[in-house]
Structure 1
């Protein structure tokens, strides 16, 4: 176990950090001292104290409790959209790689059209058109992340097309679907796994940005991007209202990027060779 930790420190640190954030969000009902939606007009904008660790907001709600509860929706949207974008991107990439010609051209031109817009701008446009809701944010974040996976998988399929084991399967009469599912997809597990981690980190940034710009989940449900937006107004007088959710967003992004880099090191044959040499 210790050998693994020393061999892949980024993967270990990222996983531990993500586990901590998930535990904080899951155990929010136990860890939070107050109801995150309960208003208290007599305790507005209180400074940090033993009773309110991060103070209170404009409506007298405990900031620490809202930060704990805010991680649930933020992480849930990020993970769901990251996985959805990867699944859709893998399917489109496999189809485009297996169908050179018109199908490949249509799919790739569509992906390039999406990539022509910055991810945040595209997500803003979709979220604005569909309205502020969980579904619209999920669609906006997912659509903005699909092209990278699709183009990556399509390139891998093309690279595998001339490999001997694929030629053998094709000569033996295997269908395109069987070749994709039994021969090509298993050989892309490593890059797909890394891409899921990177897409999820990107999804956290986009969803938090949408909430900060007023297109996130409707209030009063807490989420880190919305808490960052609400606390920004009081940055001079009550900085923890803004800094606390901002720090957690940063840590979540850091965790997924460390996991992505760590997985890349883990699956890298050169890293495996170095480990064998050391042993």
Structure 2
């Protein structure tokens, strides 16, 4: 697959200021059309004193102003980058933010969002960010502040496990990888079962002209996300790849899954697939 349509999810003005330029760089590198998507949370409706209505009106006015600022920033940055782009801001009276966001990104080849650990207020949007990864059905490129993907990566680290999510992520990244790229397949701990498809995938990569290397490390469940990022730095990776949320939300909350660690702590671009 060739990357020709990229959806960029923007939750607020502060995030857009640094994320839009990074996304425009990526769109330009792949000659892709960039669609900015700006969801919002509905204003709660109160039936009460006049003061409540005044408060709601003030909130709406702030939202209108923020949308206008994001539109100006997005169009100016896209014009300077010389790319084809459009911004879709959620209408005031429309679907819930989650439904609007998911519908708006499903036609894209790739979705871009900010890491949840990036500087600047997330304004309580961590839940929407995780919903995007879980339910969009598209590969999601997570960018931390100051680390974009301005070209096809030549060195890639794939966090491998014998799971559907990891296999999908490993295949999804091939649309981004530079021809002949070096791709490390990292396995942490014991294999997930008696049969592991990592060597088969390495052989498939070789047939496609990539340079695959098997890398092994030991770490506890709690340390796997940290280990993945440490090995990425050690191997000089330009992009980290992982399956997303392979366990239940309860597991993520109690034990701390790799996905959450990557979202909160990565300093490199991360591709996540669910």
TM-score by length of 1: 0.25
Q: Which has the higher helix share?
A: 1
Q: Which has the higher strand share?
A: 2
TM-score by length of 2: 0.25
Of structures 1 and 2, the one with the larger relative CO (CA 8 A, separation 6+) is 1
State which structure, 1 or 2, has the greater radius of gyration over its C-alpha atoms. Answer: 1
